[in-house]
Amino acid sequence: MTAVPEPLAAPEPLAGGLANAGAVFRRGPLVDRPAPPAARALHAHLRALRSHGFDACPAPVRLTSAGREQLTFLPGDVPQPPFPAWAMTSAALRSLGTLLRRLHDAAAAVPLDTTAPWSRDLADPLGGTVLCHNDVCPENVVFRDGRAAALIDFDFAAPGRPLWDVAMTARYWAPMLDPASAAALYPAGLDPAHRLRVLADGYDLSPADRAELPTVVEQATATCRAFVAHRVATGDPAYLHAFTTRGGWPRWDRLQSWLAAHRTEFSAALLS
C-alpha cells in the first residue's frame, strides 16, 4: 500500500514587523516566509549556532523554489505594538541582554561567510567578524514566562561589532526615543537611561563599550533613518504608512536632537 502524504496545515498569518508585512505564515510546526538574499548562508549560520549551544533561534528546514524559506516555529509570546507592559519589565529587559550576549558568544565561534550577500540595510558601517542580528525589536523576540527565550527574523543579519547590535537593540527596548515618539508605542513611565543600564548589565557589557554605547546608538539611529528614507523613496507601502502616521521627518529630527541632548545622562547611567 502506498502511503498518502499528510496535507500541509492551513496557513495561519503571523503578525510581525514592516519588512515582510502580510507575507509570513505558520503551517503547523513550520514558519513559511520570504527568503532573504543571503538565505543559504544564513541557514548554515543558524545551524552552526545551534551546534554551538545556541538553540534560541529557529532551525532552518528548507528553501522553496518559490523564493521562500521554511523554519521551525518557536512557541511563546511575541510582543506586538502597542507593546504590553509585561514585555517592558526590567526582568524582561535584563533577560534580553543575557540572550543577546549568548547569541554573540556563539556567533563568535562560527566562521563568517564573507562571500554571502548579507544585508547592508542596518549593518554596522565599520563591519566586524561577528554576524549580528541588527533587528532585535520586540516583534522579533519570543518570550516565555516573562523572559526573553528566543530571537527570530534574521533577515537583516550582517557582519559587525557586537556593540552595534547592542545599540540597535537599545533603540527598541530602552527605548532610545523622545517622549512623544515613545508614547505612541510603549507603556508610560519608562526611564530610558535606567533601562539602557539594565540592558547593558544583562549583557555584561564592558566598561569601554559602555562608554561608547550612547554615541553608537546615535550612529545606529542615523543608519535607521537612512534605511527608512530608502524605503519611503522606493514607495514601500508599509513604510510609507508608518512614516506618515508617526510624524515623518520632523519626528526623526526631534528624536536625533533628543538623543544628542541626553548623551551625558545616558553615559552617567551606564558608568555609575
List, for residues 118-132, the tens digit of each pLDDT value: 999 999 999 999 999
Instruction: Give tens-digit pLDDT for 151-161.
Output: 999 999 999 99
Average pLDDT over residues 35-47: 98
193: cell is 537611561
Does position 116 have pLDDT exceeding 80, yes or no?
yes
Q: How many Å apart are CA 119 and CA 32, to the nearest integer?
A: 20
Percent of the chain with pLDDT over 90: 93
- Residue 93 contacts residue 173 (beta carbons within 8 Å): yes
Higher-confidence residue of 184 and 16: namely 184
105: cell is 558568544
Does position 3 have pLDDT exceeding 60, yes or no?
no
* DSSP run (H or E) holding 93: helix 90-108
Instruction: Give tens-digit pLDDT for 207-246.
Output: 999 999 999 999 999 999 999 999 999 999 999 999 999 9
DSSP string, 187-232: -TT--HHHHHHHHHHHHT--HHHHHHHHHHHHHHHHHHHHHHHHHH
Average pLDDT over residues 111-115: 96
Whole-model pTM: value is 0.95
Q: Give which of 168, 150, 269 is closest to 217, Cα–Cα.
A: 168
Residue 8's pLDDT band, with cuts at 50, 70 and 90, is low
Q: How many Å apart are CA 163 and CA 50, to the nearest integer?
A: 22
Q: Where are the domains of the chain?
A: 12-72, 85-271
Fold category of 85-271 in CATH: Aminoglycoside 3'-phosphotransferase; Chain: A, domain 2 (3.90.1200)
Average pLDDT over residues 243-261: 97
Contacts of 35 (CB under 8 A, 6+ apart): 63, 64, 67, 68, 69
Give residue 4's pLDDT.
37
